[in-house]
């Protein structure tokens, strides 16, 4: 048995897969709204472009962090922390956008809260493992 795999904790296994899947889903959903003129864009409603672009670009980093965590690279937990902090910053700007009377969808508030929570959890589990 590969010793690297044998030393991989269940926590690392789970957060690695969650990060990669989260990244793939983010790229699919964000890309559909950004690059395809159709049902997904229409269904997005009052999306906030800077939030959408951030999340789409972050999707690539989600995958990178997930792969780094899977292969137990020390930089991967650091990257997860950067993703978490950047998400918090964008979430704050999104809050300012709402406070200033900008149009938005309530599901974006939920999604940003979920993203922040997931990445904070990934960081905590990554640091403990």
Spatial distance between the Cα atoms of 17 and 68, rounded to a whole number of angstroms: 11
pTM: 0.90
Per-residue pLDDT of 46-82, as tens digits, reads: 999 999 999 999 999 999 999 999 999 999 999 999 9
Containing domain of residue 25, as a range?
3-128
| Total number of domains in the chain | 1
Written as six digits, the tokens of 48 are: 């906030």
Spatial distance between the Cα atoms of 25 and 90, rounded to a whole number of angstroms: 19
Instruction: Give the ranges where 36-105 is alpha helix by DSSP (H).
Output: 39-44, 49-70, 74-99
């Amino acid at each position: 048995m590969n010793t690297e795999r044998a030393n991989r904790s269940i926590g690392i296994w789970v957060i690695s897969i969650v990060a990669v899947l989260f990244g793939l889903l983010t790229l699919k959903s964000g890309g559909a709204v950004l690059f395809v003129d159709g049902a997904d864009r229409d269904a997005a409603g009052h999306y906030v472009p800077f939030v959408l672009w951030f999340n789409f670009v972050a999707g690539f980093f989600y995958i990178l962090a997930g792969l780094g965590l899977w292969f137990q690279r020390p930089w991967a937990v650091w990257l997860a922390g950067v993703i978490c902090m950047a998400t918090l910053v964008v979430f704050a700007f999104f809050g300012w956008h709402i406070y200033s009377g900008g149009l938005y969808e309530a599901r974006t508030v939920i999604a940003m809260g979920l993203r922040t929570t997931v990445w904070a959890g990934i960081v905590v589990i990554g640091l403990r493992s």
